[in-house]
Every structure is written in structure tokens, then in C-alpha cells.
Structure 1
């Protein structure tokens, strides 16, 4: 039987997607879901793999990246559009999540050539390779599409902060830009919908993992496929990933 907290997390994710442009706080989200901030944060992190604050941040930054690429809004306007009241906070958090400033991200996506000697990665902090990781998330057979969090971690489990992350509205293609040099694991968490007895919809946590992958200045990672598994199988799958590694997706997949 589906738990109340699982239903609450599904409600919270929907709330984030509908209202991320507002000045939405974790306290607001928890109150709307009928839980304390501490309880919601603990259960959301246990179920999804990252905190609700980081999940909301990833949703906002996906929209920010789209606006940086496709609109003529300035950084301040984009900041307010995606729910930030402070441009400085938006810029520092964007850089923390993507490894690059909003201005540098727009420069990378611009069709105009870079000025001679200009390096858009100069502020990234950690060593970075000029590479992008492409991949595809596959849901279990028979499951309806659900929101997916994809993160890049230094270990085969979502402990600490992801070095890069994104949120997908449903399983499918994803891109992680500006991947730092090193060995990484790509982890995904979702809450998918299944039709149970009496055609009642049930929400089932699913996870997937891939790695390790290697990124360096002279070695771009190949495209990866993340297959989501229901939690009763996920632990075994992720342990197998950690011990044996997985193979890159075939070209063109």
C-alpha cells in the first residue's frame, strides 16, 4: 500500500514544478504538504536522493539555462523569472550547480565566437574538461512517465552534493554540461506512476545508476543509458554498478 509520505513527495514535486517561479520556500512547500520542514526534508531526501531545496534549485536552473540560451532577458530578469529575489544568490547558486556563471553559460551557448584568449570556464573553481555528458533515462516497463532527478556524484550513491545535476519532466534524454575532470557516477531517482488494482494509481520510487565514467581534457565520456529500477531491485543493481561498472551506451542509442 502506498504510504502517505510517498503521496506527499509526489505532491511536493508537482508543487515545485507549478510554482518554482514564485518566491517558494521549503517551509511553504512543507506546510502545503502537511509536514514539518524537518520531516519533509528527511523523507524527501530518503525517497528522491537529494534534499527538496536542491531539487527545487535544479528545476529553477533548467529553466534559467533555457532562458539564457533562447531569450534576450538579462541576468537580473532571468533571476527574478525563476524565483530568486537576489541576483547575487542566483549567480552563485547557478555556478555551484553548473560549474560556470550565468554569463559564461550564455556565452557558451551563443553563436558569436569567443574573444581571443577568453575562457568561459575560468571561474569554474574545480578543474574542468571542455566536455558535455549526454545520456538517456529509461523507465521500467509499464510505468508512466515521472519527474526524474539526474546527478553526477563522486561515489555510487547520492551522498553529499552532486557536482552537476538536472531535472527532467519525464524519463528521456538529458545533458550535463561542463563536466569536471575526474571519475564520476551518474545517478537518477524518480517517482513513477503505476496502475494498481481497481485502476488506482500508485507512486513507486525508482532509481538507476551508471559508472564510473571518466572525464578529462582529452577524454570525453560516451553517451550513457540510465535504466530505472523499482526500489526492491535498485539496491542490488546499484551495488553491482559500484563493483563492476557499466558499459557505455552504443553509438546512436
Structure 2
């Protein structure tokens, strides 16, 4: 497995604002080129300490207006997008190179190994060293404009309850998935996350093989407000996209069945890159014990 390189930059607290669901179609066509230019600048200068003011000045708008139009186009603030790109690159290097952590820290723009390690561990749920375990790559879900990866459902079944850090819940979520027009049936996975740009595993997920537009039900979902991210890897030979993705905010009741609907589309340049593993940070011995006790994922069809 090989993740293609994508740039990463630092995080600046001045960027922090509540994230929003992506809605590029709401953005005026006149401002879309400015957002795409800013994203391109992020990807080209990820190792530099880029600031919000610099990005805004490059597209000739005020910081306030830039933050607003960027969030409208991408669903997240500039700071959240920069952090997502940076962590995507760090994960790529951890999984595909033999660079030591200090070298990776420098290459993604951090100046302190300790700061990077603590931020990475807090966001991802495992240390950079733990992230290099083979099962992390085997159970990786990656989404970026240039690279998409979905682990086979049979691999998820074989991994059993060692997958992710699933929480115990009593809710049931029925998701109506609308695939892109003209697309072929797909191996499909839907995860529920606390963050719209997740860095660690979902609280619950479900999957289905050979799926067209239709319903996918996830059991054992914790009550609360989550971001549902649906990814589909389509069979070759049709005119639609080979890979599609969809985002939707969902509310799950503590008991009974909740419903939601999400439309999938081809990945776009305005999507913040995501790389999350469904592997647990537990020891291999504990993983084997749990897998033996529950050989099939409850949520994966």
C-alpha cells in the first residue's frame, strides 16, 4: 500500500472556528478560484509556518472574508484544513518510509518532537510508533483528491472487534445512500465520527459489498450528534467515478431507530484529506483474543 504525497502545514489557533458541513454548491462561482488557489498554496508550502493573513493576502481578501468563504467551500476552517493536510502527510511518512520520527517532524513543519508526538497521539489515539504497526496500514481508510483507499470488507470481518475503538451504544441508524449517477455497484463503508475531519477511528461503522443506492443499517450506535462519512469503491467498467464519498451530520437517539440520507460524489480538491485506521491500539495478543471471541464484525454485512 502506498499513499501518494500530499502537503501538510502547521496549526494556528487564530484559525479555530466551529466546522461546517461541506457545501461547495452554495459558494459563489467567483470565489471558488480563490479557495482553490489557497488550497494549492497550502499543498506547495506545507513545511512553512503559513498564517491566515498570508493566505488571505494571496487571494486579495480580508482575513475575515477569507475564513468565511474557505469554510463555506470546504466545510472546515482554514486552520482545520491545514492541520488535516499536515497529519495526512505525517501518517503517509510513518506508513511508507523508514524515516525516524524526528525527521518526519521536521518534514511536516514542526520544530519539537515532543509537541508533535503529544498532538499526534491526542488526535489519532496512538503514538507515532504504534501507528507503524502492520495492521494500521492493512485497515487504513484514506481519502484525498489524489489517493483513495478502502480496506476490503473481508479484512474487516477477519479483524473482528480489534477494529477501531468502537463504543457501546443502543441506537440504530439507517442510512439511505445515494450513489453518483451512472456509477457501478460498490464496496461501501460508512463510519460515524465525532469530528468532521477525523484522525482516529469511528464510534460505529457498517459496510456492504456490491451495493448500489439503497439503505445501510448500523447497530450499536452511541446516542449523540455525529458526522457520517460514507466511502464507496465502485466496480470498474461503468461511466461513473471509481471512488465516491459523502458527508452528513446525523443525530442518533439512545434507543430505537434513527434515519439519515447522504449523497455520494467523486472526491474534490476542496475535501480535507483524511487517513484513519480501523486498527485498535491494543496489543496484538489482545487483538487476537478479541477476534477469537467475536470473529465477525457486528456492523459489517
Provide the TM-score with structure 1 as the length reference: 0.49
Name the structure where helix makes up a greater proportion of residues.
Answer: 1
Provide the TM-score with structure 2 as the length reference: 0.42
Which of 1 and 2 has higher RCO (CA within 8 Å, sep 6+)?
2
